Structure 1
Amino acid sequence: MTFRRHSVVRDEYVPAYLSLISNSLSWGGSRLFNRLHGVGINEWRVLSAVVNEPACTATRVGDVLGLNKSVVSRSIRLLQDRELLTVDTTGGRRGLRLTDAGHEVHDQLLAVSLRREELLLAGFSAAEKAQLLDFLRRMYRNVPAMNAYQPDEGTTP
């Protein structure tokens, strides 16, 4: 039996570009956010999620952001240590809320994040941005099917 070896042509493989862009956004954002406010990209994401859903739980933050529970927990601890976030245990629920300082950091990082988005999308029209968002949303809806895919052992799809 002869096996043919193929490789991914990176310039034609969508996951390669998504990964490159995602890594660049995360690494660049973390470096910048750490320099500006001593928080990384995951902490920024938690701040943003809590602003969008005040009093949400850590579980909800993980679900919304698609982050592992341990990553969310570490980020919450760091934000609490920095006095940017509090955990309200009233009613037996662990609701997350930003402090005044947390709102201030959030608002400053929001401006930076929006500017980074502008730079990333330089040369795109408003219609192209809308189309890109439509494509990305459609791809995101396909993620469960992609992750559920299990080829039979010993066979090629």
Structure 2
Amino acid sequence: MRKNIVRQEVATTSNRVTLDLDRHVPYFFTYISNKLSRGASDTYRKHFGLGITEWRVMGVLAGMPDISANQIISAIGLDKGAVSRGLHVLEQERLVTSEPDPKDNRSRIMRLSKSGNALHDRIIVAALAREKRLLSTLSPEEVEILIVCLRKLRANVPYVNAYDPLDPAPGKRRK
């Protein structure tokens, strides 16, 4: 039987509550995400002429061709402006093509062009090598546990983002 582990998430100094950055999970996500994104963007710009946002859009389109910009936004969790700018760059570089959505004239269906697919196939090698380096300190079992935990946390994001400090009756927690 596993015990629930209660951990100290805050440090108290001079009657003031502050974050303990060695234990605060959102800090780790922010730090790791920002550093990885900056490193990937620098690498991809230097070697492939694209930044991280364009690469993320390409990655989604490679696995999910013929989708709208709104579907890309949902898939990668970036804001509309960032995805729109990324798509604009990819269209200017002729890496993405689009056509009107036959089901919705206000929307366009996006897909990688032949040159977009070829560039994706070059960048994915670097992306997977970077991931391998990131995970190199974990055993295969730890990687699987991490993925399970990350999926659970991803599913819990709407619950977290629904938090309102002024709400006296917060919603139910997800399991």
TM-score, with normalisation over the residues of structure 2? 0.82
In structure 2, do the counterparts of structure 1 residues 40 and 49 end up closer, same or farther at CA, with 3 Å as the change threshold?
same
Q: Does residue 67 of the first structure (1) align with residue 82 of the second (2)?
A: no
Query: What secondary structure does 1:94 align onto?
Result: strand
Residue aligning to 2:64: 53
Name the amino acid aligned to 1:41.
I
Find 2:92's aligned residue among 66, 74, 81.
Answer: 81
Q: How does 1:1-157 map to 2 (within 5 A)?
A: 4-89=15-100, 91=102, 92=105, 93-152=107-166
- How many pairs align? 151
Compare the two structures and name the one with the higher strand fraction: 2
Query: What secondary structure does 1:95 align onto?
Result: strand
Query: What secondary structure does 1:6 align onto?
Result: strand
Q: Which of 1 and 2 has higher RCO (CA within 8 Å, sep 6+)?
A: 1
Query: What secondary structure does 1:54 align onto?
Result: coil
TM-score, with normalisation over the residues of structure 1? 0.91
Offset of residue 118 of structure 1: 0.5
Q: Distance in 2 between matches of 1:10 and 1:123?
A: 21
Name the amino acid aligned to 2:153.
M
Q: Which structure 1 residue ranges, 4+ long, deviate > 4 Å from structure 2?
A: none
Offset of residue 123 of structure 1: 2.3
Q: Distance in 1 between matches of 2:39 and 2:159?
A: 30
Residue aligning to 2:9: none
Q: Distance in 1 between matches of 2:101 and 2:54?
A: 24
5+ unaligned residues in a row in structure 2: which ranges? 1-13, 168-175
Compare the two structures and name the one with the higher helix fraction: 1
Offset of residue 107 of structure 1: 0.8
Query: What secondary structure does 2:111 align onto?
Result: strand
CA RMSD in angstroms, aligned pairs only:
1.5
Query: What secondary structure does 1:89 align onto?
Result: strand
Q: Distance in 2 between matches of 1:134 and 1:126?
A: 13
